[in-house]
Amino acid sequence: METTLLGRRGAVLSLEERADGRLWAIRGDEERAVWVRRCFPWSEPGHYLSLRDADEEEFALVRDPAELDPTSRAALETALALAGFVFEVTRVLEIEEEVEIRHWRVETKQGPRAFQTRLDDWPRTLPHGGLLIRDVTGDLYHLGKPAALDRHSRALLWAFVD
């Protein structure tokens, strides 16, 4: 299956962030406020980006941001940072098992955080290595290189890493 930049051949797509704080996609005489969803957030985060409008309909599919003009690319990258935001864990301080839940206390790039997972909800190993933990509310915690963490963190994580 061939995927084009716009999901429709021929038209040129440009993106801009406007005063209302939203990302706007313009294609020919069509324009719409959109938000970005990565098609492959973990296996290919930089490619295949779906631009969706307020009704959740796809307005365009960006195969590679490099195909966009520099202004559009910059606007897209800002939107991507927000859409793809997850907590980046830098240290694991505590993992405690309680009834039905596992309690985690971690330090992240965004600040210290405590969260809970269900006992039978195991961290997911990502395609490029690393772990992804989903807490009971749906927030995600990414450990890019568990092996590069400090000794204490590694010891706590040992049971959860292959």
Partner 1 sequence: MSTLEHLDDQIIGRYLDQPLRLPADLRRQIESGWEGAPVQLYALSDLDHTLRLAESWMALGPEHVAVARRAPDGAWQVQSVERSRIEAVREAPGLSANTLTLFGSPGEPALALVRYTHRQRRAFENIRFVLEEQLEGREIPSVDPDRAYADGVARPVREAQALVSGRQVAVIRRLLGYLKPYRRQLTIGMTAATLITLVSLIPPYLAGYLIDRVVRPAREGALSLGRASTIAWLAVAAMALVYVIRQGAAVVRLRLMAILGEWVARDLRSELYEHIQRLSLAFFSRKRTGSLITRVSADTDRLWDFLAFGVVDVSLSLVMLAGLGAVLLSLDWRLGLAMTLPVPFFCWLIYRHGESINRLFIRAWRKWSRVSDVLSDTIPGIRVVKAFNQEEREIRRFGERNQDVTAEFNRIHETWTTFWPLLMLAVHGTTVVVWALALPRLLGTGTALPVGTFVSFLLYTTMFIGPIEVIGQIARTMNRATTSAHRVFEVLDTEAEVRDDPDPVQLRPVHGRVAFEHVTFGYDGVRQVLRGVSFDVAPGELIGLVGPSGGGKTTIVNLIARFYDVTGGAIRIDGVDLRRLDTGHYRRQIGMVLQDPYLFHGTILENIRYGLPEATLGQAIAAAQAANAHDFVTKLQHGYDTVVGERGHTLSGGERQRVSIARAILHDPRILILDEATSSVDTETEREIQEALERLIAGRTVFAIAHRLSTLRKASRLFVIEDGRLAEHGTHHELLAKPDGKYRRLYELQLQLQ
Q: How far is CA 27 from CA 12, 32, 33, 65, in A?
A: 6, 9, 12, 15
Is the Cβ of residue 48 or residue 160 nearer to partner 1 in the bound state? 160
Is the Cβ of residue 8 or residue 103 nearer to partner 1 in the bound state? 103
* Vertex 42: Cα angle to 80 and 128 (nearest 5): 130
d(CA 111, CA 23): 27
Which of 17, 50, 154, 160 touches partner 1 by CB under 8 A?
Answer: 160
Which of 98, 127, 145, 151 touches partner 1 by CB under 8 A?
Answer: 98
Q: Are strands 101-108 and 30-38 parallel, antiparallel or unpaired?
A: unpaired
Which of 11, 86, 93, 126 touches partner 1 by CB under 8 A?
Answer: 86
> Pattern of binders to partner 1 over 124-153, x per CB under 8 A?
-----------xxxxxx-------------
Report the Cα 39 to chain-centroid distance in Å: 10
Does 100 bind partner 1 (CB under 8 A)? Our answer is: yes
Tell me which residue has tokens 């997911």: 124
Is the Cβ of residue 4 or residue 108 nearer to partner 1 in the bound state? 108
